[in-house]
Amino acid sequence: MADIKLGNDHDIVFDGNDFSVTKTKDETLQQRLKVKLLTFLEEWYLDRGLGVPWFQRIFQKGTSKETVDIILKRKIAEEPEVISIQEFSSTLDNRNRTYRLSFVVKSESSKESIPIEFDL
């Protein structure tokens, strides 16, 4: 199943006058996980349960990196096509207020592991 392809800036990728679509199941899963993790809980009016509790839990004073890791691992594991998280690493830079996430998942549709990396 293909999805409309999003670029690194999260805008729709166009090919001429048509929009592009993801080409593989792995690419679709990568994009779906990235969108899920970048969506704020209660942000989308059609599904208030979709997304990560960024304001409700993560952006609260005193929330540890370990707590953030646990929340994000749970959100990744909730994706029906994800069988397991094979690798997970993250870094938190309090000075610049950035969180970098890198993980590898095993999916139902692929024999290969799927690496995913981005900054939050």
* Tens of pLDDT, residues 59-117: 888 888 999 999 999 999 999 999 999 999 999 887 787 889 999 999 988 777 888 88
- Give the residue among 105, 86, 118 at the shortest CA–CA distance from 25: 105
Residue in this structure with the two tokens 């950035």, named with its chain if needed: 98
Instruction: Give me the helices (H) in 11-92, please.
Output: 25-38, 65-78
Q: Model's pTM, two decimal places?
A: 0.85
Q: Tokens standing for 114?
A: 């799927």
Beta bridge partners of 102: 89, 117
For CA atoms 105, 110, 113, 118, the dihedral sign is: negative
Q: What is the mean pLDDT of residues 37-50?
A: 91
Give the mean model confidence (pLDDT) for residues 44-67: 90
In the predicted model, is pLDDT for residue 1 greater than 80? no
pLDDT of residue 74: 96
